[in-house]
Amino acid sequence: MNKPYLESYPDEKGFFGKFGGSFIPPQLVQPFEEIKKAYEEIKNSKQFIEDLKYVRKHYQGRPTPISFAKNLTKHCNGAKIYLKREDLNHTGAHKLNHCMAEVILAKHLGKKKVIAETGAGQHGVALATAAAYFGLECEIHMGEVDIKKEHPNVIRMKILGAKVVPATHGLKTLKEAVDSAFEAYLNDTKNSIYCIGSVVGPHPFPMMVRDFQSVIGFEAKEQFLEHENKLPDNVVACVGGGSNAMGIFAGFIENKEVELYGVEPLGKGQKIGEHSASLTYGEEGVMHGFNSIMLKDKNGEPAPVYSIGSGIDYPSVGPEHAFLKTEGRTKVGLCDDNEAVDAFYKLSQLEGIIPALESAHAVGFAMKLAKTLPNDKTILVSLSGRGDKDIDFVVENYPIPNSKF
Ligand SMILES: *Cc1c(COP(=O)(O)O)cnc(C)c1O
């Protein structure tokens, strides 16, 4: 019998086909070996599974429900739209799914401090929360541009006891935050551990973060059957690094009849610098320690990227997404800034749910897809987070529509 997909990929060295792997400086080889070994040890340990189940149920708020978006469905007049409500996690996004597990791993390794990057601040807040809960120090690196844009999350991290370090080079957004966090980790691999915020980075992170996020897909599969008595025809999730998408895809990857769509931000347009649609416009390349499909400038360096969603403006993408797209198992959807803002307001006014701007990209694409499908078809959207962090920015730049209809 063939091994299930999730046990077959990645291989020993962290490759999904030709994507993934571990391209790191010699000083990091040993620390990453240590992380890999620790993960192999604890992933099947009864204690670890019990600990994680406990915090998820009694602290984080899992299982998160699936809601039928009845008014949005009526508005689109096509396929039925369902939402997997990751916005209802403590701290407001799916990030705590892997942060809690990464911090338990850090404790297992005897580390005192967790270090990470953050884009919109969601990963930083989630990690600061997990660190507070488990009693570890926390240091978060964040681009200066994002620090201004996502002010409430910066304050939240500080209140939670984390140190926020601004990344001041280059475009001062997510990529630079990753550079800066890697450097800090390099300087203190003994006492600290890097807790990557998505299914990116060197092996074992893409695998580990996927495994921790797979709870979204496993819950969703069961819950969707409860609603519809069949599997969804389509599953849609936004892709920055790709963790909420891999998390929900994990539940349906073996069911070939379920179409899986990763939605990339088309930003302001198709030119380099106007979007961050890596899978759509990128080419193979190594960045931040792994081989994937990335956006490059004329010199082959990581290209400048942009999206209205601060958590999804990354010039590369998780290697498993590159692999699954190349294999034809997943498809890529696009949603630009304006479509995302339209979805942001539509979901708010028709369903009473204010989505994160990142998640609004998945909703925006799902609305376009729904309109092309008959009303006996279904779409399950990963609503990765809530939009409280984005309200000031949206209202200042895109006036609230006068009429819902
Ligand atoms: C961080 C974040 C994302 C993007 O990260 P992925 O790893 O691509 O899931 C999407 N939505 C929200 C709400 C986020 O906070």
Domain shared by 281 and 327, yes or no: yes
Ligand 1: distance of its center to the CA of 396 in Å? 23
Whole-model pTM: value is 0.96
Residues 161 and 310 in one domain: no
pLDDT at 159: 98
Atom of ligand 1 nearest to the CA of 385: 13
Range of the domain at 70: 61-92+214-397
Same domain, 49 and 113: yes
Domain termination residue (choose one: 174, 209, 244): 209
For ligand 1, residues with CB inside 6 Å are 93, 95, 120, 122-123, 198, 238-245, 311-312, 356, 358-359, 384-385
Q: Is residue 222 part of a domain?
A: yes
Q: Do 387 and 269 sit in the same domain of this protein?
A: yes
| The total number of residues written for the chain in this structure | 405
| Residue 48 belongs to a domain | yes
The per-residue pLDDT for 311 is 85
- Do 187 and 290 sit in the same domain of this protein? no
Atom of ligand 1 nearest to the CA of 197: 7
Res. 1: pLDDT tops 70: no
Active site residues: 95, 117, 384
Q: Is 340 part of a structural domain of the chain?
A: yes
How many domains does the chain fold into?
A: 2
- Ligand 1 atom nearest to CA at 123: 1
- 74, 188: one domain: no
Least confident range from 54-68, 227-241, 302-316, 363-377: namely 302-316
Q: What atom of ligand 1 comes closest to residue 198's alpha carbon? A: 7
Is pLDDT of 330 > 70?
yes
What are the pLDDT digits (tens) for 210-255? 999 999 999 999 999 999 999 999 999 999 999 999 999 999 999 9
Q: Do residues 72 and 113 both lie within one domain? A: no
- On whether both 27 and 125 belong to a single domain, the answer is yes
Q: Are residues 71 and 104 in the same domain?
A: no
- CA contacts within 13 A on the Cβ side of 168: 3
Question: What mean pLDDT value characterizes the chain?
Answer: 96
Band of the pLDDT at 404, cuts 50, 70, 90?
A: low
Name the token pair of 23.
Answer: 């391209």
Same domain, 326 and 187: no
- Yes or no: say if 133 and 139 are a contact pair by the CB < 8 Å rule: no
Q: What b/e string do you get for 49-65 counting C-beta neighbours within 10 Å, with b at 16 or more? A: eebbeebbeeebebbbe
Give the distance (Å) from ligand 1 centre to CA of residue 1.
35
The stretch 271-296 carries a mean pLDDT of: 96
Q: Report the candidate in 173, 50, 197 with the shortest Cα–Cα distance to residue 115.
A: 197
Q: What is the mean pLDDT of residues 143-165?
A: 94
Residue nearest to ligand 1 atom 14, measured at CA? 311
Residues 304 and 372 in one domain: yes
**Pairing mode, if any, of strands 192-194 and 234-238?**
unpaired
- Pocket of ligand 1, candidates 90, 198, 313, 386: which has the most ligand atoms within 8 Å of its Cβ, to mutate? 198
Ligand 1 pocket, mutate which of 87, 122, 199 (most atoms under 8 A from CB)? 122
Examine residue 178 and state whether it is found in any structural domain, yes or no: yes
Q: Is residue 405 part of a domain?
A: no
Q: How far is the CA of 107 from the centre of ligand 1 (A)?
A: 25
Indicate whether 198 and 260 sit together in one domain: no
Q: Does the structure show a pLDDT above 70 at 405?
A: no
At 284, the pLDDT band (50, 70, 90 cuts) reads: very high
- Per the structure block, which two tokens stand in for 73? 């469905």
Going by pLDDT thresholds of 50, 70 and 90, the confidence category of residue 391 is very high
Per-residue pLDDT band at 43 (split at 50, 70, 90): very high
Tell me how far the alpha carbon of residue 321 lies from the centroid of ligand 1, in angstroms.
Answer: 14
- Which are the contacts of 265, defined by CB distance < 8 A and separation ≥ 6? 238, 275, 276, 277, 307, 308, 309, 312, 313, 334, 335, 336, 337, 340, 361
> What band does 403 get if pLDDT is binned at 50, 70 and 90?
low
Using the 3D structure, point to which of 209, 235, 255 is the last residue of a domain.
209
Distance 68 CA to ligand 1 centre (A): 22
Mean pLDDT, range 77-97, rounded to an integer? 97
CATH no. for residue 169? 3.40.50.1100
pLDDT of residue 151: 87
